[in-house]
Each structure stands twice: as structure tokens, then as C-alpha cells.
Amino acid sequence: MHTRTLGQGLTVSAIGLGCMGMSQSYGPNPGDRDEMIEVLRSALDSGVTFFDTAESYGPYLNEELVGEALQPVRDDVVIATKFGWRLGDGEAPGLDSRPARIREVAEASLTRLRSETIDLFYQHRVDPKVPIEDVAGAVGELIAEGKVRHFGLSEASALTIRRAHAVCPVTAVQSEYSLWTRDAESAVLPTLAALGIGFVPFSPLGKGFFTGAVDQNTQFSDGDIRESIPRFSEENRAANIALLAHVAQLADQKGATPGQIALAWLLAQGPQVVPIPGTRRTKRIEENAGATGVGLSADELDGLATLAARIGVHGNRYGDFQMGFVER
């Protein structure tokens, strides 16, 4: 596995591991905790050293899982987690990035992660009630105290990124980005390049679509978030198959899998791009890691981008409620 450097000199594996699905969102959660711990530890055998979690995944369960699994190899990995949600505790759930709340989350996350420092601490979603300068200042204080190493943002606009970066250097921005979700290209990616900030695409495989495991006949199990996502309605999946068919055809020509082609396309977008595909299976981790060895020519890259733009994508990437928390 090659390594890449995000902003502020944070070196990580070229492909990371999104851990959320081990605790929520994709149907019934795995019943065997020990099995998920082994999957997490097996990622290192494939060269993965970058692990992504959040207090809200579970909630809390995913951080605990990641903390237990990676404690024996803590010095060899980079763990990213997130703040920014009010998760109940007698209050209505919602966004909450007040400085006092950020500190509270950091302390609790450190305990769950069994760690003395958080390598990368993202604001999970921008909170319109709290100036981003106050958020950046609060994380800067945690960095000065050694409790956090690096500051990140998720689904933030270019302007918000610049304002935050002026107060506390931003190491990485995490947003959805893939062949069928390319909103970041117009303003965010140029801003990150100009400021020397890394980019961490989540859902780089289109929530499983580009693995080829989802088609118009797929029946999602109870609790699978894709049931509520317009892009995954039966009608929209049928329309979106055209793009997947081209990716699969190219994969056959390259001796690769569709998922590897989709990841290789992302890796080719710049040396600061580090996708974090999620999975519950060691075999899939191995497959994803193999994408770093898939070379795409300039013509192939252009063909994928052009086709994706021409075909377009049918359906929003989130439902109406979820869209309210996207890019501010």
C-alpha cells in the first residue's frame, strides 16, 4: 500500500477504512463483535493505516469497537473521529459545535478510543449557530494541549474552509465524492489544492453501487439506510446502471473489479485524495487496497469522467431531511 500526505504533514495509507458500517446504517449489525475486531486488525495486513469513526456511529459503539481493535497497534495507525452532534442525553438531537461541547466530545472519545490523542478531529457537519472561527479556535486549544493532532471539516463549503483554516490550519476535508457524486469539484477541490489541505472522500464506491453488488433488483434489508435514499429507489437504480456497466466493462479490460476502477479514478484526482471505503469483510478490504495498483490512462480517466457527466445520476444522494445538513 502506498502512502499519501494530507495537510499539515499527516501521512496515511492511500486508501483508508470507513468503519461506520460495522455499527450502523447497512442493515442488521454484525452480531459477533470479535469478528469485527478481527476485520479491523486484518486491514493492517493489506497496508491500511487510516481508520475513520465518529461518536455518532452507534452512537458511541463504533468508537469503542475501533478503540479495542486498534489498541495493540495504536502507534502504527491514524484514527479519525468526529464531533458536532447532540445525541440526546435529555436534549433533542441536532447539530452542536459549541466549544464546550467540542471539548466534552474529545474527552469522551479519547476514553472510548483508548488513546491519549485523537489523530484527526473532524467537525461532522457545519453548525450554523456557531461561528466556524469559534469551532476552529476550540480545536486549536485541544491541539495545543496534545489531545488532538489535526483539525478536519466534513461537508463544508469553500468559504467555510477558508475561514476555519485562517484560525486553525485544516488538515483534511471529508465529503462524499465518487464517479456519481462530484459536487466538490467546482469549488471545494480547488480551494483545498490552493491551501494544501487533504481531501478524504466518503462513500467513494457510491454506498456499494460501484462494487457491482447492487442492481435494480436488490432488496435492502431492514435498517439499511439506502432504503431512504432516492438514488437507490428501484427506478433510479435501473437508470444508473448505465454508468456501472461502463465501469464494469473497463474493469474487465484491466483485470480489475468495478470497485477498484472507481477507487483508482478517485486516486488519480490528486495526490492529496485519500478515499475511505467502508466494509465489514476482510476480502473487500483486500480488494479495495488493490486499487492502488490499478493504473488508468489519461484517456480512460477522461472517458470515465465524461461518461459520468453525460449520463448523469438519477436521484438525490440523501433524503430531504438529510440534505439539510449538507455543505454550509
For the chain, percent helix, then strand, then coil, each to nearest 5? Answer: 50, 15, 35
pLDDT computed for residue 92 by the predictor: 74
* pLDDT band at residue 326 under the 50/70/90 scheme: low
| CA pair distance 281, 283, nearest whole angstrom | 5
C-alpha cell at 321: 431531511
- Give the predicted TM-score (pTM) of the model: 0.95
SS3 80: strand
Query: Residue 215 — pLDDT band, cuts 50, 70, 90?
Result: confident
Q: What pLDDT is recorded for position 75? A: 97
Catalytic residue among 57, 122, 177, 318: 57
Q: Is 221 exposed, middle or buried (0-12, 13-18, 19+ CB in 10 A)?
A: exposed
Residue the block writes with cell 484527526: 120
Please give the backbone phi and psi of residue 317, each rounded to the nearest 5 degrees, phi first: -80, -15
C-alpha cell at 88: 440526546
- 243-274 in b/e form (b: 16+ CB < 10 A) is bbebbbebbeebebbbbbbbbbbbbbbeebbb
pLDDT in tens, 32-70: 899 999 999 999 999 999 999 999 999 999 999 999 999
CA angle, 159 then 309 then 296, to 5°? 95
**Could you give phi then psi for residue 98, rounded to 5 degrees?**
-60, 140
- pLDDT tier, 323 (very low <50, low <70, confident <90, very high otherwise): very low
Asked if 57 is an active-site residue, the reply is yes
Domains of the chain: 3-207+269-292 (3.20.20.100)
pLDDT band at 324 (very low <50, low <70, confident <90, very high): very low
Distance CA(42)–CA(282), nearest Å, equals: 7
Query: SS3 of 257, please?
Result: coil
229-286 confidence digits (pLDDT tens)? 999 998 999 889 989 999 999 999 999 999 999 999 999 999 999 999 999 999 999 9
Which residue in this structure is represented by grid cell 439506502? 226
Instruction: Report in angstroms the alpha-carbon separations of 187 from 27, 125, 160, 171, 327.
Output: 34, 18, 11, 17, 12
